[in-house]
Structure 1
Amino acid sequence: MKTTYLKLSLSAVILLGIYSCKKGEATASEYELSVNADSASVVASDSISSAATMNVKDKQFIKTADVNMEVKDVYEATISIEKSVQDLGGFVTHSNLHSNVISEDIYNTSSEDAMLVKKYQTENTMQVRVPTAKLGELLTLINTKKLFLNSRSINAEDVTSGIKYAELEGKRIKKTGEDLSQLKTNKDKVKMSDENRSEENLQQLANMDVTDNLKYSTIDIYIKEPKVRIAEIAITNTKNIDNKYKFNFIHDAKNAFVEGFYLIQKIAVGLIAIWPVLLITAVIIYFIRKRKPFQKPTQNISE
């Protein structure tokens, strides 16, 4: 029995999004609505708003949106979007603004100065969350920043049946807890009670996630600049500086003389350190020569 309870609860958590508060503040729209557009067919502001805020009676939806577009200035557009999100009561969960350097070259302008020229493109990947009721308004504001709209999609996941099923699961878990309280205390009861409380905790956690997703919509935004930018940065002519100090004959000759003197000292110290070896070698050579028999030279007498 306890295994059945656990399987049913896990199924509710994984497949159905679990129970949500009956008084969720999210607005509704059509089930699995998807809107795609490009710059050739620009959707009017009121159309954007109606697509994102359409209501369907007795339905609850988790809404998400995705926008991919090109803008004149990524940094300016990022600041504007972040401010709009804040004004609408939302918040930014991710923002990764960076420049992709295409090339960089150094041009010497004098013996001391040079110019670093960088060619680059700037882009930003953002994720923001706003109250679901403000989703259409934010998409309208974002739309005003575009030069070219690559794509835009608005999705609504119908979680009405999942919420109803989660309500039933909540009642089941509560009833199971009441039934367990009436059993005689033993090891099995303690284990089953602990598993039941674990199911209840998982369900409450999922409830908070679903409620949060109903209240706030998530928008993924990718923006980039269509043209290459050029940055000119004044720097020092390092090549000329390197040549200036690359070689100094007097200084290097002086160092070489001093290093040679130190080398002689190190050799003398090394010989002193091995004096026992030298002494033994000298003694061996002495005895070898002393033990060598003396041969008297022979003289040939011719008659």
Structure 2
Amino acid sequence: MKAKLFLALLAGVLLLGACGRSSKYEPLREDRTSAADTAAVSADSTKVEITPTKLVKTADMRFKVKNVQQTGDAIAALTARDGGMVIHHQMQADVERSEDIRVSNDSVKRVSALRTNADMTVKLPSEKLESFMTEVAHMGMYVTLRKMDIEDRTLDYLSEKLKLKNRQDLVDQQKKGKVVIKNPVNVMLLKDDMVDQQIGNMRTDEAVKYSIVTLSFYQSNFINQEMIANDDPAAYQLPFVNRLAIALNNGWQLFVELILGLANLWVFITLGIGLWAMYRYYKRKHPAWFAGGIKS
């Protein structure tokens, strides 16, 4: 009898435990279902348009060549072949040392040591960048610097695109009268921001499509010889014989000028001679007067 009572009590306890577990886990399933539905709604509310990856590639290279001018022409031809364009090209030659050697009185040989270098910036399709860099590297004797950078602007592009969409929606609502913007200046500023965002994304698209490559190359110093006119005036003096003949001629010209000058003064010379003759005459005729005059 006791055994039957014990079994009945055990069965009742097990039944109550089973019901408790059932009531315990059922709300959890409901919570999970509710959380899943909320996540689905949240995912639907945050859907954005998938934007292609925006990778901007830039490259830089410095190398030594045999001839700067020929290498520049070859790079320009290679850029045109790959569908790009040269947007900057500067070649410069600096004189390291120079010496003038006198060849004759009016000629000088100038010997100069020149250092030549060039800078180029090219714009070409991004898919041709690596092959272009490899071909350019083979034009040089050796490469001192080669660098390529890739910048991912996907998120920046997407951010500007979403901001532009938000502003466009606001403008549309303002046109429909759903939103009232009291200050017209704010409307103009909003539209200007939209233009800036559109232009910014267009620049990003352009930078993704075309890569910018900066090239710098140089060559060893070379010697340049040229014949130039002597710019020293002292080197153009005449020989001694010619200078002596010119000096004698100048002396004769001075003597002639002196005679001509005296001839122009003939009246004063004649008057002076006459006065001197009269003085001598009266001195000889009246010596006492002149002697007395001198004593007084």
SS at match of 1:220: strand
Taking the aligned partners of 1:107 and 1:133, their CA distance within structure 2 comes to: 55
Instruction: Provide the rounded CA distance (Å) in 1 between the counterparts of 2:224 and 2:55.
Output: 47
Runs of 5+ unmatched residues, structure 2? 1-49, 258-296
Q: 1:244 to 1:185 in 2, by over 3 A?
A: farther
Could you say which residue in structure 2 is the equivalent of 1:219? 213
Alpha-carbon separation, structure 1, partners of 2:230 and 2:224: 18
Moved more, 215-224 or 58-67: 58-67
- Contact 1:111/1:240 (<8 A) preserved: no
Structure 1 segment 64-75 matched on structure 2, within 5 A: 64-75=58-69
Q: TM-score, normalised by structure 1?
A: 0.59
The correspondence for 1:180, drawn from 166, 170, 174, is 174
1-structure distance, mates of 2:128, 2:64? 23
From 93, 97, 102, the equivalent of 2:91 is: 97
Q: Partners in 2 of 1:242 and 1:187 — Cα distance?
A: 86
Greater helix fraction, Structure 1 or Structure 2: 2
CA distance in 2 between counterparts of 1:204 and 1:167 reads 8
Equivalent residue of 2:182, what SS?
Answer: helix
Q: Work out the CA distance in 2 between the residues paired with 1:151 and 1:185.
A: 57
1:57-106 Cα offsets, whole Å, 9 max, x none, are x6331000000111111111111001111111111111110011101111
Partner of 2:223: 230
Structure 1: where are the runs of 5+ without partners? 1-20, 23-57, 259-303
Residues 174-203 of structure 1: per-residue CA shift (max 9 Å, x gap): 111112223499883422221111111111
| Counterpart-to-counterpart distance in 2, 1:224 and 1:167 | 44
Q: 2:159 matched to 1:159?
A: no
Deviates more, 1:104-113 or 1:115-124: 104-113
**Percent of aligned pairs with the same amino acid:** 20
The count of corresponding residues between Structure 1 and Structure 2 is 199
Q: 2: CA distance between counterparts of 1:158 and 1:184?
A: 38
Write the mapping of 1:1-303 to structure 2, written as runs, cut at 5 A. Answer: 59-183=53-177, 188-225=182-219, 227-239=220-232, 242-244=235-237
TM-score by length of 2: 0.60
Q: Which has the larger radius of gyration?
A: 2
Q: Distance in 1 between matches of 2:199 and 2:161?
A: 14
**Shift, 1:236, TM fit:** 2.0
Give SS of 1:194's match. Answer: helix
**Structure showing greater relative contact order (alpha-carbon pairs closer than 8 Å, 6 or more residues apart):** 1
- Conserved? CA contact 1:180–1:189, under 8 Å: no
